[in-house]
Amino acid sequence: MPSIIPRAHLFGNPERTNARVNSTASRVGFLAPHNNLLNVFVVSCDQVSVDIQNAKCVTNDTARGIRTFGWTANPDVLFFMQDKGGDEDWKVYTVNVETGAEVCLTPAAKTNNAVAGVSHEYPDHLLISSNQRDPTAMDLYLVNIFTGESSLVVENDSKCVGFTVDHKFSSAIATKANPDSSVDFHLLKLTFAANLNKVAVKTRTEKVTSSSLADGISTTTIKTVTEKTLSKASLDVTKSSEGTHALHMDAEDAGWGDCDPYGFSDDLSSIYMASYKGRNTSAFVSFNLETKETTVIGSDEHSDIAGCLIDAVTHKPLAYQTNYEKKKYTAIDSDDAGLQHDFAVLDAEAGEGGEWVVESKSHDGRVWIVLINKADKPSVYYFYSRETKAATYLFNTRPVLEQYAMSSLRAVEITTRDGLTMLAYLTVPQDKEGEGYCKEPVPLVMHVHGGPYGRDPFGFNRYHQLFANRGYAVLSPQFRGSTGFGKAFLNAATGEWGGKMHDDIIDAGNWAVEQGIAIKDKIAIHGGSYGGYASLVGVTFTPEYFACSVSIVGPSNIATLLDSIPAYWGPVRSMLTTRIGADTDTEEGRAFLLSRSPISRVDSICRPLLIGQGANDPRVKQAESDQIFDAMVEKSIPVTYVLYPDEGHGFARPPNNISFVAVTEAFLAKHLGGVSEEVGTAFEGASLEFKGGRTEIGL
């Protein structure tokens, strides 16, 4: 058995992460612990390869740690986002790394805010999306990064889902979801710039007195002074309803937000996007806003478009990205020798079985920050110069793990009971690796992703490594409804929460048993958000299949979930309810939702259940965990419930994350028979409250 990997090495703070380059390639920022909480550090680019240890901390978050930051178009100013206790009322801040000045750009309480646009033509401003005017609609505001002065520039009166703004801040594509789940794209002309940079010229006269030291005589003259100041004229406001219709996508082709534009052409005549029209897997296309013509640039028969790489100067697409087993760039111009050289260098750095992704780039495109992912090693960041074709190592996110033997992660294909091909990621204990999948059957943890309209990424997975190190095989099925595998696979999940989506998870477990990987009566189910719902479904809809279940922020009643979603989710509610199969506005709809809800089958629970919940979760409210816990207690069904009063949708604070992993380890060890690290000091600094069932797992 390999040596125990301390849980804190996997679920505590990374040593460094999230590197980003500024516009002039003169600085790199990254996240690293400061007083045990992630903050933003900055280092000059000529120090990147040698003096990164001496990077300067430029923020001072003392509550939760910063997880999201980036650079404005001004090379001296970065932005970061923070909420309070996981409530997702995000505020946007800027920091001048030269002066240390910090400004809150979005001070309004109980609002959701995010950076919606950066333009090098307006380096002193950001576009911020915010629902401060109307809790149900995200408007666009132009905000000065130095003063915080804010002006409404796009009023979202038609309740659009969101906006894609061009690089000149002169137009935007508004995405509108319709009641039938089709999507329309409208072109908005932004006119605020007309008043933004107007200069007001004023003249005044003033007396100027001068004295001569030689003769002691003072003289007074009248001087005319000219003053130039930026105009305070209010900026023009564009309403989202004033846009010109550009493109319609039927519900079948609309995807789940993966067809939103990636950007505009240099002359703003076209947009680049993914499109399902006339095909199963999406294609990377150019859509001409004037002629309404669509030009297919590239595609893959197995994978949807997952992203693209656009030239920062010419705004021409260089490559499109696909993601079946892992992410891969395909160059659009095969004759571009420079780009082919870039890709060859980065392919070599990633090595066989690895993937690389461009995380950020300088304004002129000559510098890329590249993230390299491998299945059995923590992620690594590189500073790549397109001029010298040199990839300079920046840092390993978790170098402390280099001393431990890690397990491999492999992609496998599983055929569902109705004939669909389902990708899954499999990890087995390092000492059980060998010919075939596994030397002998072991207990299995079915690790289910959230969303559900998302997917698991390739790369180093902390849960896979933890569970494999504790003696379990781990399987992450990309069940129907997971994105990236074509519209037929996505749409096959419509109306199938707790139905065929769960069948896919059971099929994955049966496959693992048939392949000699899993012990049939030693399979656990574990997941968060939708994965938490799937874990609750596991012990209610298939009560004897799983040996135990771990549900993290999982909804127990789909009807109450829908009735309590954040107000700003309103524009996508119709898309969500269509995919779920019903809404709460009819008796029939509520009955269907209840029939697919774990709360309706509490009587069936006969296997151990562990629940983890954040009290401030705005998506899956605490009531979702409370109600199934209360129902189980009322029926004298054992259950362990851990609540975190300072967390939201998941556990952000490292002490909280570590503590729940410790609880999970003890729970799985009791019911699956694997090993676990002693709890020891795992609860120190954590806010966990056992609402019940602590003694059930011997803690």
Active-site annotation, residues: 529, 617, 649
The verdict on whether omega for the bond into residue 452 sits within 30 degrees of 0, i.e. cis, is yes
* Distance, CA of 554 to CA of 536 (rounded, Å): 7
DSSP 650: B
**β-sheet with 244-249: strand ranges across:** 162-165, 171-177, 183-189, 244-249
Q: Helix (H, G, I), strand (E, B), or coil: what is residue 24?
A: coil
Per the CB < 8 A criterion, the answer to whether 3 and 56 are in contact is no
Residue with tokens 């058995």, as numbered in its chain = 1
| β-strand partners of 651 | none
* Distance, CA of 315 to CA of 431 (rounded, Å): 49
* Distance, CA of 19 to CA of 21 (rounded, Å): 7
Q: Helix (H, G, I), strand (E, B), or coil: what is residue 679?
A: coil
Q: Do the bridges between strand 377-385 and strand 409-415 make them parallel or antiparallel, or are there none, so unpaired?
A: unpaired
**β-sheet with 238-239: strand ranges across:** 113-117, 125-134, 137-144, 150-155, 238-239
Per the CB < 8 A criterion, the answer to whether 140 and 154 are in contact is yes
Per the CB < 8 A criterion, the answer to whether 1 and 404 are in contact is no
Q: Do the bridges between strand 377-385 and strand 390-396 make them parallel or antiparallel, or are there none, so unpaired?
A: antiparallel
And the tokens for 401? 């793990």
Which among 292, 274, 271 has a CA at the least distance from the CA of 284? Answer: 274
* Distance, CA of 547 to CA of 443 (rounded, Å): 10
Which among 248, 178, 282, 173 has a CA at the least distance from the CA of 575? Answer: 178
Per the CB < 8 A criterion, the answer to whether 613 and 629 are in contact is no
* Distance, CA of 683 to CA of 677 (rounded, Å): 13
CA-to-CA dists, residue 309 to 278, 315, 391, angstroms: 24, 10, 18
- The separation between CA 178 and the C-alpha centre of its own chain, rounded to angstroms, equals 24
Q: Which amino acid is at 686?
A: A
Contacts of 120 (CB under 8 A, 6+ apart): 23, 73, 167, 363
CA angle 14, 19, 25 (to 5 degrees): 160
Per the CB < 8 A criterion, the answer to whether 297 and 291 are in contact is no
Q: Helix (H, G, I), strand (E, B), or coil: what is residue 121?
A: coil
* Distance, CA of 213 to CA of 195 (rounded, Å): 49
Per the CB < 8 A criterion, the answer to whether 559 and 590 are in contact is yes
